C-alpha cells in the first residue's frame, strides 16, 4: 500500500511519509527495494539464517569457524569447571 501510493504519486517520498506516518527514508527505502526486487525485496530478513545451499563458500567457512570457536569455548569452560571441582574435592569439601 505504501509503495503503491508512493509510485502513484511520482515517488513523492515526503508526502508518502507524512500520509503513512513513517520516515522519508523508510518510504524511499521501501519503494526502491520494491522496484529492484518486487515483493520479495520488502520481506524482513533480519535474524534469518540462510540454508547451506544459499551460502557462499566463504559464508560456510565463517559459520564453521564460529561453530568451532563455540565448541572450543565450551570445552575450555568444562575443563575449568572440572579443575575447580577437583580442587574442592582435594580440600575435603
- Tens-digit pLDDT profile for residues 25-83: 999 998 998 888 888 777 776 776 777 888 899 999 999 999 999 999 999 999 999 99
pTM exceeding 0.85: no
Question: Do 86 and 43 lie in a common domain?
Answer: no
Cα gap 5→73, rounded to integer Å: 52
Cα gap 80→69, rounded to integer Å: 16
The domain tally of the chain equals 2
Question: Do 34 and 70 lie in a common domain?
Answer: no
Cα gap 43→17, rounded to integer Å: 19
Whole domain around residue 72: which residue ranges? 50-92
Cα gap 27→17, rounded to integer Å: 6
pLDDT, residue 55, reads 86
In this predicted model, what pLDDT tens digit does every residue of 5-21 receive, in sequence order?
A: 999 999 999 999 999 99
Q: Among positive and negative, which fits the CA dihedral 41, 45, 46, 50?
A: negative
Question: Do 10 and 44 lie in a common domain?
Answer: yes
Question: Is the CB of residue 6 less than 8 Å from the CB of residue 32?
Answer: no
Amino acid at each position: 500500500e505504501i509503495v503503491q501510493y508512493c509510485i502513484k504519486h511520482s515517488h513523492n517520498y515526503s508526502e508518502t511519509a507524512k500520509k503513512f506516518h513513517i520516515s522519508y527514508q523508510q518510504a524511499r527505502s521501501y519503494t526502491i527495494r520494491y522496484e529492484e526486487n518486487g515483493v520479495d525485496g520488502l520481506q524482513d530478513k533480519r535474524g534469518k539464517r540462510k540454508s547451506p545451499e544459499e551460502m557462499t563458500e566463504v559464508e560456510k567457512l565463517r559459520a564453521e569457524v564460529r561453530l568451532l570457536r563455540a565448541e572450543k569455548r565450551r570445552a575450555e569452560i568444562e575443563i575449568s569447571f572440572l579443575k575447580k571441582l577437583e580442587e574442592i574435592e582435594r580440600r575435603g569439601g
